[in-house]
């Protein structure tokens, strides 16, 4: 290794530029901490002539990936180019050349993480990907190192800044989903095509990664159930507020009795829940361990320097391992065989909004139906609808199984008194109702 560690960078977008800036600006600290200098020797780019706002005087730019991957002087490859198959090919080549790899590529890690980790271990190489989840928040290292002695039972979090910004605008300012999305796009928090974020796909990939590490079990992306925010109506956020809840897109992973549940869905959180106050583009991950109890990791979930900080921290870890001669030893086989929970084993509280006929006895009929499936109501609101002689009923349930809840919903659709099930969402906590129960006209 000598007195200098050479880095090869695949990609020079906002994150790649941030990595170069941090390494240059913090060189004195790195030398003091590691006993060696760190230098980005070569970078794979699409256009070497493009103007960039980082100092590249000592860095070779190339459009040929093999100039980076085959360079014998390069010790560590940092992949920040994005994409899946091309990045996978390059990383596997790096491992075969005995180079250590750091990536910020959540899509790649979610889909091919176990394969890449196995290739790294086989070649005695390190493979780190802290920046793939929640940007600058050190959540992966917190789980694998800080909570290594604990039995983690639950991980839930806000892991997508775009959707959190949209829901914050809807919650705080009462604007529609469409208006909030448009503003997020104008500010650069959402892409021109926001599908990946608003349909929950980005969050699902991050939860697959978190679940693997937290529970030491194999989790495929197809194991994550996903519902996005694009169907949310402002009325549900307003009713949720009256009931003491705020809406968030929550990634949820639970592991007990060696059975697993992983999903991403809009969730009404009690305003007293630690995640309820996470606003705008910020991320946070709440972890519950058997010994430590509740912990929460909070911070910026994206951006050039926050994400580059996580990447550079992984660079520091690899160099420390190189100096100690312990590279390629961080991987352990999954401890538990994957077993997904059935709906009968998945429990939660739920929020439901209905349009019903505005006549006496409707609530009693609905309550009796839910009682048949051992589901009791926690809070109830009722408001008249000014057209077609309809009423709107909003209620939250106590804990029940997902199986019983879905069965009750299906039976509800067959009631003559029920016109439409407008929406239903999972709820966390009891909330603090601000409006008294009003059921007199039902």
- Stretch 16-28: mean pLDDT: 94
431 vs 369 pLDDT, higher one: 369
Residue the block writes with tokens 């929970």: 341
- Stretch 331-355: mean pLDDT: 92
- Stretch 310-319: mean pLDDT: 96
Q: Are strands 390-397 and 377-385 parallel, antiparallel or unpaired?
A: antiparallel
Confidence class for position 226, pLDDT limits 50, 70, 90: very high
Confidence class for position 435, pLDDT limits 50, 70, 90: very low
Confidence class for position 437, pLDDT limits 50, 70, 90: very low
pLDDT in tens, 239-286: 999 999 999 999 999 999 899 999 999 999 999 999 999 999 999 999
408-429 burial code (b ≥16 CB/10 A, e <16) = beeebeeeebbbeeebbbbbbb
Average pLDDT, the chain: 92
Confidence class for position 439, pLDDT limits 50, 70, 90: very low
The class level of CATH for 344-428 reads alpha beta
What's the longest Cα–Cα distance across the chain? 84
Q: For residue 67, is pLDDT > 50?
A: yes
Looking at 206, 339, 345, 426, which residue is catalytic?
Answer: 206
Residue ranges per structural domain of the chain: 4-136+304-324, 148-299, 344-428
Q: Are 412 and 418 in contact (CB under 8 A)?
A: yes
Which of 129-138, 208-217, 232-241, 296-305 is least confident? 296-305
CATH code, 148-299: 3.30.360.10
Confidence class for position 432, pLDDT limits 50, 70, 90: low
Architecture label for domain 4-136+304-324 = 3-Layer(aba) Sandwich (3.40)
Active site residue 206: yes
Q: For residue 222, is pLDDT > 50?
A: yes
* pLDDT at res. 384: 80
* pLDDT at res. 438: 42
* pLDDT at res. 336: 87
Q: For residue 423, is pLDDT > 50?
A: yes
pLDDT in tens, 193-203: 999 999 999 99
* pLDDT at res. 55: 85
Please choose, from the candidates 137, 139, 113, the residue with its C-alpha nearest in 3D space to the C-alpha of residue 127: 113
φ, ψ for residue 108 (rounded to 5)?
-65, -45
* pLDDT at res. 2: 64
User: In CATH terms, are 4-136+304-324 and 344-428 the same topology?
Assistant: no
């Amino acid at each position: 290794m000598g007195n200098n560690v050479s880095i090869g960078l695949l990609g020079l977008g906002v994150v790649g530029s941030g990595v170069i800036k941090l390494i240059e600006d913090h060189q004195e600290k790195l030398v003091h901490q590691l006993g060696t200098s760190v230098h980005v020797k070569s970078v794979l780019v699409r256009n070497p002539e493009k103007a960039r706002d980082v100092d590249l005087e000592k860095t070779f730019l190339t459009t040929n990936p093999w100039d980076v991957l085959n360079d014998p002087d390069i010790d560590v490859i940092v992949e920040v180019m994005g994409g899946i198959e091309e990045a996978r090919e390059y990383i596997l080549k790096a491992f075969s050349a005995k180079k250590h790899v750091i990536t910020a590529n959540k899509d790649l890690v979610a889909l091919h993480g176990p394969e890449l980790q196995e290739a790294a271990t086989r070649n005695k190489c390190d493979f780190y990907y802290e920046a793939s989840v929640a940007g600058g928040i050190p959540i992966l290292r917190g789980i694998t190192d800080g909570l290594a002695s604990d039995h983690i039972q639950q991980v839930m979090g806000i892991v997508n800044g775009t959707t959190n910004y949209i829901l914050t605008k809807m919650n705080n300012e009462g604007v529609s989903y469409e208006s909030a999305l448009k503003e997020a796009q104008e500010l650069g928090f959402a892409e021109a095509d926001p599908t990946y974020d608003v349909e929950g796909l980005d969050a699902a990939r991050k939860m697959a990664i978190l679940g693997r590490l937290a529970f030491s079990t194999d989790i495929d992306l197809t194991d994550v159930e996903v519902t996005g925010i694009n169907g949310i109506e402002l009325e549900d956020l307003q009713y949720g507020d009256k009931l003491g809840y705020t809406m968030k897109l929550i990634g949820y992973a639970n592991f007990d009795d060696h059975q697993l549940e992983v999903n991403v869905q809009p969730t009404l959180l009690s305003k007293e829940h630690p995640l309820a106050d996470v606003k705008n583009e910020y991320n946070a991950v709440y972890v519950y361990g058997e010994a430590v109890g509740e912990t929460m990791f909070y911070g910026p979930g994206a951006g050039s320097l926050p994400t580059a900080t996580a990447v550079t921290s992984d660079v520091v870890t690899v160099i420390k391992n190189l100096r100690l001669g312990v590279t390629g030893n961080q991987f352990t086989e999954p401890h538990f065989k994957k077993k997904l929970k059935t709906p009968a084993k998945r429990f939660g509280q739920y929020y439901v909004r209905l349009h019903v006929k505005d006549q006496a006895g409707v609530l009693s009929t609905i309550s009796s139906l839910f009682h048949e499936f051992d589901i009791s109501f926690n809070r109830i609101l009722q408001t008249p609808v000014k057209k077609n002689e309809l009423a709107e009923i909003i209620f939250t349930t106590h804990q029940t199984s997902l199986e019983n809840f879905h069965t009750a919903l299906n039976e509800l659709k067959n009631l003559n008194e029920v016109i439409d099930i407008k929406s239903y969402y999972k709820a966390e906590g009891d909330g603090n109702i601000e409006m008294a129960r009003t059921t007199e006209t039902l």
